[in-house]
Amino acid sequence: MAFDSEFKFEQFEEYFGDARQVKKLINECKVCGAKLVQSHLSDYKNFIVQETARCPECGSGNRKTIHVLN
């Protein structure tokens, strides 16, 4: 597994389908389907939230996303 420390900005185009489908995309591992462990770091000065998500079951799915606050 390669180490990738780069955060990517959230794009709403990647979320498609009904509410159940979108929740599955956000909360479940794409490899094994287990629930992801998510952590958030708020930066109110720059109006962003850094989110990291990883799978405790298989160790994959290390997702790093930046959410822009409006």
pLDDT of residue 1: 40
Higher pLDDT, residue 65 or 61? 65
pLDDT of residue 61: 63
pLDDT of residue 3: 47
Residue 64 has pLDDT above 70, yes or no: yes
Q: Other C-beta atoms within 10 Å of 69: how many? A: 10
Q: Other C-beta atoms within 10 Å of 62: how many? A: 15
- Asked, for residue 3, whether it belongs to a domain, the answer is no
CA 24 → CA 4, 41, 45, distances in Å? 23, 22, 31
- Asked, for residue 1, whether it belongs to a domain, the answer is no
- Structural domain tally of the chain? 1
Containing structural domain, residue 61: 8-68
- Asked, for residue 42, whether it belongs to a domain, the answer is yes
- Asked, for residue 2, whether it belongs to a domain, the answer is no
Q: Summarize pLDDT for 19-59 with one digit per residue, the tens.
A: 998 888 888 888 888 899 989 999 889 899 999 889 988 88
- Asked, for residue 51, whether it belongs to a domain, the answer is yes
Task: Tell me which H or E stretch contains 51.
Answer: strand 48-54
